[in-house]
Amino acid sequence: MIRHSFALRTALSAAGLVLVLSLLGAGWVWRQGEAELRAQLDFTLAAEAEALVREAETLGLAGLVEQARSFGRRGSPLLVALQTVDGAPIAGGLAGASPSLLRGFATLRAEGGRGPLRALGALLPTGVNLIVASDLAPVERAAARLAWAPVGAAGLAVAAGLALGFAGARRLESRLANAGEAARGIMDGDLARRLPANPRGDEFDRLAATINLMLARIEALMAAQRQVTENIAHDLRTPLSRLRLRLEAALAAPRSPPADAATMEAALAELDQVLATFRALLRIARADSGAGRAEFQPFDLSALVAGVAEAYGPVAEDAGRQLAAMIAPGLVLSGDAALLRQSLANLLDNALLHGGPHIALRLSAGPVLEVTDDGPGIPAAERQAVQGRFHRLEASRNTPGTGLGLALVAATARLHGGALDILDGPGGQGVTLRLDLRARAG
Amino acid sequence: MRILVIEDDRATADYIAKGLQEDGQVVDVARDGKDGMFLAMNEPFDVIVTDRMLPGANGLSIIRALRASGIATPVLVLTALGEVDKRVEGLEAGADDYLGKPFAFAELRARIRALARRPAGPPAEQTELVHGDIRMDLLHRTATRGPRKLDLLPTEWRLLEYMLRHPGQVLTRTMLLEKVWDFSFDPTTNVVDVHVSRLRRKLEAPGEAPAIRTVRGAGYALEAAARDAAG
C-alpha cells in the first residue's frame, strides 16, 4: 500500500533530482578544482625553477648539481633533474621519466606505475637543461576530494529526505485511512458518519470539514427522499385501494351503462386526486432538495402578491368572506416565483376553507408575508405538525385538500432560507401564518 | 388539420392518435426522436405534439432544430409526472405549450385547438379583438358589447382578452389558470369559476344572448352564437 504513496513518490523524485544535480555539480567542481590546482602547481614549479637558476648564477654548475642531489635525498615532492642538451643525465632524476631537451611546461608520462608528472624545463646558459617536476597525483586526489564533498552532503540530505518522506507517507496514509474508513461506513448506510477532523485546521482538516458539510446535505436530502417514499407508500395506498375496491365492485355488478358511467367518473375523480397529491409531493420534494436555487431570478414580489390577492378577492367575496390586502409596493425578491405564488395561494385556500369571515393578507418589507384569519385557529400543539406532510386537523378531515398545502409553504420558505411561523391571530383570536423570507444565515 | 404525434410509448401514442382521429384530424405518429425530427422537418403540420423524453433525439432538441430552420409550427410538449417544474425550460426551447402526463384527453384536445388557431401575426400587432358584438380596444383599453361599455377589472380584462384570442374554443380551467393567472397548479378553491361567472355577469346584461358557454367537465368557451348576433 505504501508503495503507491504520493508523499513517498514526491520524496523519491526529490531525492533523485538532488542526486543527479549534485553529481553534475561534483563534475563541475572537479574540473574547476583540478584546473585551479594545476595552475597552482605550475606556479610553484616556476618559482622553484627560478630560485634554482638564481642559485646557479651565484654557486655555479657544481652548486646546482649539489642542489639537485639534495632534492633527491630529502625525498622532496619536487623532483629536480639536470641533463645535457642531448638528454644525458647529469644529476637528480625524474623518477623514471626521461624526456629529451625540455623547455617550458609539459606533462610527462612517468614509468614504474607512477602517475603523470608536471614538469618545467629551462636551458641554462652553461648548456645544461634544468627540469623541475612534481607528481600530478596529489592534485587529482585533492580535486576528487573537493568534488566528492557536495555529493556526500547531498547523499546525506537524500537519506534524510527519504526518511522524512517515508514517515510523512505513513502519517498521510493513516489520516487518509481514517477518512476512507469513514467513507466506507457511509457507503454501508451509516449516513450520520462524518470524516474525522482535527480542530488544528490544516488543509486536510479544512477538506474534511467541507466534505462533512456535503455529507450533512446528502443526509438531509436522503432523509427527505425517504420521507417522500414513505408518504407515497402510506398515504397514496388508501385512495388507491379505495379505487380498486370501487372498480372491483362495479365489475362484479351486472352491466348497466348509467351505473358504469357513474363508476368510471367517480374513479377518474379519485385518480385525479391521487395524481394531484403525487404532483404536490414531487413539488415539495423538489423544493426541499434545493434544486431550484441555481435558477433563482429576481422578481417583483409585490406585483406577484397583488396578482394573487386580485385572483382571491372575488373568491372570498363569493364565499361570504372579506379579504383585505395590505401590500408594500416595490419589494423585489430573488427566488422561485412559481413556488411562492403557489404557497400564497395555498395560504389563502386554507384561510378560505378553514378560517373565519375576515382574512387579511399583508406583505411588508423583509419581505414578510402574513395571512391572518379570525377562524378557529390552529392549536399550539399542532403548529409544528401541520407543516409536515399529510397532517390534517381533526376538524377539517372532511374538507377538500391533500394535507400538503402547508408542507409546500414550509418547504418553499426553507428553499428561500426563511421559515413558516404559525402564530396566534391579533388579540389571540384566529391564526396568523407568517412566511418569513428574510434569508437566514446557514 | 394535420397533426404529428411524437411519442415512444405505444399505448399513449395510439390513445392520442385515436382520440384526435375521432375528432376528424389527420394524425401521423413517430415512435422515436429521429423519425419525429425527420417528419417535422420535411412535412407540413398544423400542430406537433411531442414527448419530452424520447429515444433518438429528445423533444426539446427537436423543437430547437425546427426553430433553427425557421419552421414555426406550434409545438406542444408532453412531460412525465416527475418533470412538473421543467415548464420554463420547455418554453424557452421554443415550445408553445406544455402538458404534464397523465392528462385528460379533453385537456389535450383543447390545447391542440388553441395552438392550431393561433393568429399568424404576433399578438402585439393586434390593436383590436372582435368576436360577434364583443369588441376590445387594446390601445385605449376599452371593451364594449354592442353599444354598451364594459367596466372590467384587470383580471376580468385579461380573462376576456384570452378568450377573445381563442373564440369558440373550449378553454380548460388549467389553461385559464396558466395563461390568465400564471398559476401552474390547481388551487383548492374555485378561482376560475368565480372569475368567469363575474365576467359573464358583466358580459350578459338582461336580454342579451349568452356570451360564455360552460362545457361540462372541460371548461369554458366564448359562445360561437355571439357572432350571429352581429350578423
pLDDT of the residue at A442: 42
Q: How many CB pairs under 8 A join A and B?
A: 64
Contacts 24+ apart (CB under 8 A), A305-308: A305/A344, A305/A361, A305/A363, A305/A369, A307/A341, A307/B181, A307/B182, A308/A341, A308/A344, A308/A345, A308/A348, A308/B181
**Which among A307, A314, A338 has CB closest to B195?**
A314
pLDDT band for B39, please (50, 70, 90 cuts): very high
Q: What are phi and psi of A397, to 5 degrees?
A: -55, -30
d(CA A132, CA B99) in angstroms, rounded, equals 111
- A336-378 per-position pLDDT tens digit: 888 999 999 999 999 998 888 999 999 998 899 999 998 888 8
pLDDT of the residue at A112: 63
CB atoms A345 and B185 under 8 Å: yes
The C-alpha angle with vertex A372 and arms to A368 and A378, in degrees rounded to 5, equals 110
Handedness of CA B210, B213, B214, B220 (dihedral sign): negative
Chain B residue with minimum CA distance to A401: B188
pLDDT band for B228, please (50, 70, 90 cuts): very low
- A290-343 per-position pLDDT tens digit: 777 877 889 999 999 999 999 999 999 999 999 999 999 999 999 988 899 999
The full DSSP string for A13-59 is: HHHHHHHHHHHHHHHHHHHHHHHHHHHHHHHHHHHHHHHHHHHHHHH
pLDDT band for B229, please (50, 70, 90 cuts): very low
Chain B partners within 8 Å of A308 (Cβ): 181
The pLDDT of residue A199 is above 90: no
CB atoms under 10 Å from CB of A265, counted, come to 11
The pLDDT of residue B227 is above 50: no
Answer yes or no: is the ipTM higher than 0.90: no
pLDDT band for B226, please (50, 70, 90 cuts): very low
Q: Choose the most confident range, by mean pLDDT, from A366-370, A383-387, B215-219.
A: A366-370
Please answer whether residues B16 and B78 qualify as being in contact, where contact means their C-beta atoms are separated by less than 8 angstroms. no
Q: Which of B86, B189, B192, B200 to mutate to test the interface with A (most CBs of A within 10 A)?
A: B189
The pLDDT of residue A201 is above 80: no
| Edge-first strand listing for the sheet containing A78-84 | A89-92, A78-84, A128-135, A117-123, A104-108
The pLDDT of residue B231 is above 60: no
CA of B1: how far to CAs of B72, B77, B164, B172, in Å? 16, 18, 22, 21
Statement: the pTM of the whole predicted model exceeds 0.80:
no
d(CA A310, CA A325) in angstroms, rounded, equals 9
Q: Kindly report the nearest CA distance between residue B105 and chain A, in angstroms.
A: 12
- A402-412 per-position pLDDT tens digit: 778 888 999 99
User: Taking a contact as any Cβ pair under 8 Å apart, which residues of chain B between 184 and 213 contact chain A?
Assistant: 184-191, 194-195, 198
Give me the mean pLDDT over the B74-92 stretch: 76
d(CA B28, CA B48) in angstroms, rounded, equals 10
Identify the burial level of A323 via C-beta atoms within 10 angstroms of its C-beta, where 0-12 means exposed, 13-18 middle and 19 or more buried.
buried
